[in-house]
Structure 1
Amino acid sequence: MTDLRISGLVKCYEPQARVLDGLDLTVPAGLLAAVLGPSGCGKTTLLRVVAGFLRADAGTVELGGRIVCGPGVHVPPERRRVGIVPQEGALFPHLSVAANVAFGLTGIGRAERRRRTGEMLELVGLPGHGERMPHELSGGQQQRVAVARALAPAPDLVLLDEPFNALDSALRAGVRADVRAALRATGATGLLVTHDQQEALSTADLVAVLREGRVAQCGTPEEVYRRPADLWVAGFVGEAVFLPATVEDGTAATPLGRIPLAGDRRGPGGVVVLRPEQLVLGEAGTRGTCGTVVDVRFYGHDAMVRVAVAGLDEPVAVRVAGPAGVRPGERAAVSVTGEATLHAAP
């Protein structure tokens, strides 16, 4: 099991345009870290530098204490012991499934190659598929084969470049779970680049949020979601409710009433952050702050209701289980549960 340590990483495509700007990131051995961020923040560049496809302009990349990228050092990709799962699998169309999985198994006997290939196919839930050709598989099965191929040489690190993008939503959850189980079974450290926030939060052990070539916050999915480092991270990762607040005795006075704050917070005030599931919708006249429903969006398992409240420029988002039970134009009360995080006003 190998940890990944990235320190002060810089990569420029143009002299004055830093795609990676002193990026620092540590992924402990055996964990899967998801890298999130808006387009152009450096996610794919980071993956390519770690893989060895690009040379960094400054900084270091260490795998298990071994420097593979640094001043005067650039270990080629084939010597880094890094497995890669690209988008859409990228299987060799002229090779069987077994031959695809065994492609990176060099320097071992034929019997050992067959054993290892069968072991990997079993691990990703495709036993008995070795003789098939890639075009005979579904998209989800092709991605599983790509994962088996990456894991077969027992790499120290597995890089996953948005590997589930081509799959429909019904397949994604199942394939993600299988891939996560396979990584855990082999003990490989993983780095997943994704645009899908739900994917990052539900799959990874750590979530690193990138902004302009640096890590804005890195922590467990719950830490990043519940305790965002700043207002930008709060707004980027999931839905957020921002309320102006003044602070007194560890609570924040807001247009939705007094809300307890996470941690020891003192000072004149700022902006508090809540998540939509912390807001509770009730009938007008009941406990809470009264407002007018302006929008209802039903998603099946839940609904998002936006309520205009006096003193706020934007409606607040309330997540409710199942059907919302209200319509636009109706009056409703909004109350708050749990603690909020406080940030300096922009």
Structure 2
Amino acid sequence: MTDVQIAGVSKSYGPNAPVLRGLDLSVPAGTLAALLGPSGCGKTTLLRIIAGFLHADAGTVTVGGRTLCGPGVHLPPEARRIGIVPQEGALFPHLSVARNVAFGLSGRDRAARRARTEEMLELVGLGGYGDRMPHELSGGQQQRIALARALAPQPELVLLDEPFNALDSGLRTGVRADVRAALRATGATALLVTHDQQEALSTADLVAVVRDGRVAQCGTPQEVYGRPVDPWTARFVGDAVLVPGTADSGTATTPLGRLPLAAAPAGRTEGAVLLRPEQLRLADTAAGPQGTVTDVAFYGHDAMVTVTVDGLEEPVGIRVAGPVSVRPGQRTGILVEGEATLHP
């Protein structure tokens, strides 16, 4: 297993087009890390630099203690021992499944190639599919074959460039779980590029939120979701309720009442108080702050109820489990559970 160290990586596509601005990232060995960010933030550019397809303007990339690029160093892609799973699988259409998986095993004898190919097919749950052609497979099966092909040469690092985008939502969840299980079974270190917050939070061990060519925050999914570093990150990694508040002595006074804070700032401080929609509860109008329901979006397993709260300019979202009894136009009370976070 190998760790990944990225230090001060910069890349511009012209004098007025900087993409990466001194990006730093550390990924421990055996970790599946997600690079999460909006389109144009530099995620794919970073992946291409790590793979060797692009030259960085500055900075270093080290994998397992071996410098892949840096001042005076730029190893070619074939010398980097990196496996790549691109979007939509990108299998060779004229080769069978087995020959696709064995493509990077040219240095081994025939028996060793066959054994490794069968091992990888079993790992991704497609044992016995070796004689099929790519067009005979579903999209999810093609993505799993692409992963098997990437893992077969035992790379030091696996790069996954938004590999689930072309799959429908029902299939995507299952394929993500299969890919994660296969990576963990081999102990591979991996970087997943995605702009899908749910995908990053549910799949990765480590989430690096990229904004304007830098890592805005890096931590476990629970840390990034529960303790975002700023309101932008809070909104990007999930639904957020942000209300004005004044903190004093470990609590914040807000239009939603007095709320305990996870980390109390020194002295009296004003700022934006962050809550997640699942922390809010609908209540009787006699309890707590009040508002008017303006919208109900039902998703089956839960619903998002939008409420215009008395004293607040922006409506708030309240995530409700199961059936919803309220309707637009109805008055409701609001209760808050758990701790809030203050961003001065």
Correspondence 1:99-118 to 2 at 5 A: 99-118=99-118
Q: Matched residues in 2 for 1:265 and 1:96: separation?
A: 61
How many residues get paired?
343
Q: Matched residues in 1 for 2:15 and 2:340: separation?
A: 42
Q: Matched residues in 2 for 1:67 and 1:268: separation?
A: 45
| Range with greater deviation from structure 2 (180-189 or 264-273) | 264-273
Q: Matched residues in 1 for 2:247 and 2:283: separation?
A: 26
| Structure 2 match to 1:241 | 241
| Structure 2 match to 1:173 | 173
Correspondence 1:48-87 to 2 at 5 A: 48-87=48-87
Aligned-partner SS, 2:180: helix
Aligned-partner SS, 1:103: helix
Q: Which amino acid letter does the alignment assign opposite residue 272 of structure 1?
A: V
Deviations 1:210-262 (A, max 9, x none): 11000000000010000001111011111000011111110000000011101
Q: Which amino acid letter does the alignment assign opposite residue 256 of structure 2?
A: L
1:336 counterpart = 2:336: yes
Q: Matched residues in 2 for 1:244 and 1:264: separation?
A: 16
Q: CA deviation at 1:284?
A: 1.8
Deviations 1:167-225 (A, max 9, x none): 11111111000000000011110000011110000000011111100000000001000
Q: CA deviation at 1:288?
A: 2.2
Q: CA deviation at 1:38?
A: 1.1
Q: Is the 8 A contact 1:271 1:343 kept in 2?
A: yes
Q: CA deviation at 1:7?
A: 0.2
| Structure 1 match to 2:273 | 272
Correspondence 1:1-346 to 2 at 5 A: 1-266=1-266, 267-285=268-286, 287-344=287-344
Q: Which amino acid letter does the alignment assign opposite residue 237 of structure 1?
A: V
Q: CA deviation at 1:323?
A: 2.3
Aligned-partner SS, 1:335: strand
Q: Which amino acid letter does the alignment assign opposite residue 105 of structure 1?
A: L
Q: Matched residues in 2 for 1:59 and 1:92: separation?
A: 34
Q: Matched residues in 1 for 2:288 and 2:265: separation?
A: 24
| Range with greater deviation from structure 2 (80-89 or 318-327) | 318-327
Aligned-partner SS, 2:252: strand
Q: Matched residues in 1 for 2:62 and 2:112: separation?
A: 30
Q: Matched residues in 2 for 1:215 and 1:294: separation?
A: 36
Work out the percentage of aligned pairs sharing the same amino acid.
Answer: 73
Q: Matched residues in 2 for 1:247 and 1:46: separation?
A: 39
Q: Which amino acid letter does the alignment assign opposite residue 60 of structure 1?
A: T
Q: CA deviation at 1:282?
A: 1.5
Q: Which amino acid letter does the alignment assign opposite residue 241 of structure 1?
A: V
Q: RMSD of the TM alignment (CA)?
A: 0.8
Q: Matched residues in 2 for 1:194 and 1:93: separation?
A: 26
Deviations 1:41-62 (A, max 9, x none): 0011011001100000000000
Q: Is the 8 A contact 2:247 2:264 kept in 1?
A: no
Q: Matched residues in 2 for 1:284 and 1:252: separation?
A: 22
Q: Matched residues in 1 for 2:269 and 2:111: separation?
A: 71
List alignment gaps of at least 5 residues for structure 2: none
Q: Matched residues in 1 for 2:230 and 2:203: separation?
A: 23
Normalised TM-score (structure 2): 0.99
Q: Which amino acid letter does the alignment assign opposite residue 337 of structure 2?
A: T
Aligned-partner SS, 1:326: coil
Q: Matched residues in 1 for 2:64 and 2:283: separation?
A: 54
Q: CA deviation at 1:106?
A: 2.1
Q: CA deviation at 1:155?
A: 0.4
Q: Which amino acid letter does the alignment assign opposite residue 53 of structure 2?
A: F
Q: Is the 8 A contact 1:35 1:192 kept in 2?
A: yes
Q: CA deviation at 1:32?
A: 0.5
Provide runs of 4+ in structure 1 moved above 3 Å: none
Q: Is the 8 A contact 1:304 1:324 kept in 2?
A: no
Q: Which amino acid letter does the alignment assign opposite residue 290 of structure 1?
A: Q
Q: Which amino acid letter does the alignment assign opposite residue 45 of structure 1?
A: T
Deviations 1:10-65 (A, max 9, x none): 00100232100000001100000101111110011011001100000000000011
Q: Matched residues in 2 for 1:76 and 1:288: separation?
A: 63
Q: Which amino acid letter does the alignment assign opposite residue 11 of structure 1?
A: K
Q: CA deviation at 1:325?
A: 1.2
| Range with greater deviation from structure 2 (327-336 or 256-265) | 256-265
